[in-house]
Amino acid sequence: MEITNEQMERYSRQIILQGVGGKGQKKLLQAKILIIGTGGLGSPASMYLAAAGIGTIGLVDFDNVDLSNLQRQIVHSTNDIGRPKVLSAKESITAINPDVDVVTYQKIVNAGNLKNIIKDRDYDFILDCTDNFPVKFLINDACVLLQKPFSHAGILGFKGQTMTYVPGRGPCYRCVFQTPPPSDAVPSCKQAGVLGVLGGIIGTLQATEAIKYILGLGNLLTGYLLIYDALTMDFRKVKLSRNKKCAVCGEKPTITKLIDYEQPKCEAKR
């Protein structure tokens, strides 16, 4: 593929970077990234990835835009209330950068469809931008079973966390958190609230990891959980090890196909 003069101008600030260049920009333009969840985390992640020139972006979300989403889900606008989030997000992304091929999946991800969604365009990197534990474990297991790298993240209240899984390069999410917590043990964003900027900070970190992975630059958050506290303004990097007894990526895995955990009743949606 050839980079046009217009693309040289659009991406000039990153092509100029040492370690990126035209070759790196071509890698980005040929990359395929799947974003599961177009909410607080998925909004900034999808917008920055689109702006950076990721060639194919898949968006998964079954939900419609709600007024209460707009405090943090910046890819959607007031005019989009009631519309499918994947369509609203696709419009925003295309407006930012028409170079991007946006693929939409208006679905609730489950054990029956997740692998097929990932395989649909053979995505290179996956972003877990979801808001509930059952789906987070589902995404982890699917990525381990398909040997796909992904970025995990979660935000709640004034805190957020993220880690990156790359096959063969450190622990998976299940190595660290063996099973989902009981469905009533953890409040959801709806019950506990979340500072809108948390999605911006952590979702943008996820986009950063995806871009670095595609470019092969720097160090990823493999083997680390990064925890951010907006109130104390601390970024803490906790070192993590692989669990040889991990049920999905360990030496003798007991999970060989995907499991649907029960969703908390009031949050039976992505």
Q: Which residues bind another protein (CB under 8 A)?
A: 3, 5, 8-9, 11-13, 15-16, 18, 21-23
Least Å distance, CB 172 to another protein, is: 36
Please give the structure tokens belonging to residue 191: 């019950």
Least Å distance, CB 214 to another protein, is: 17
Which residue type occupies 235? F
Identity of the residue, 21 or 250, whose beta carbon is nearer to another protein in the bound complex: 21
Q: Which residues lie closer than 8 Å to 145 by C-beta, 6 or more apart?
A: 115, 248, 256, 257, 258
Least Å distance, CB 55 to another protein, is: 18
Query: Rounded to whole angstroms, how far apart are CA atoms 15 and 190?
Result: 41
What is the dihedral sign for C-alpha 22, 24, 28, 32?
Answer: positive
Identity of the residue, 15 or 202, whose beta carbon is nearer to another protein in the bound complex: 15
Least Å distance, CB 25 to another protein, is: 9
Identity of the residue, 15 or 75, whose beta carbon is nearer to another protein in the bound complex: 15
Which residues are registered as beta bridge partners of 157? 194
Identity of the residue, 97 or 222, whose beta carbon is nearer to another protein in the bound complex: 97
Least Å distance, CB 3 to another protein, is: 7
Identity of the residue, 18 or 256, whose beta carbon is nearer to another protein in the bound complex: 18
Q: Strand pairing of 32-36 and 125-128?
A: parallel
Q: Strand pairing of 32-36 and 159-165?
A: unpaired
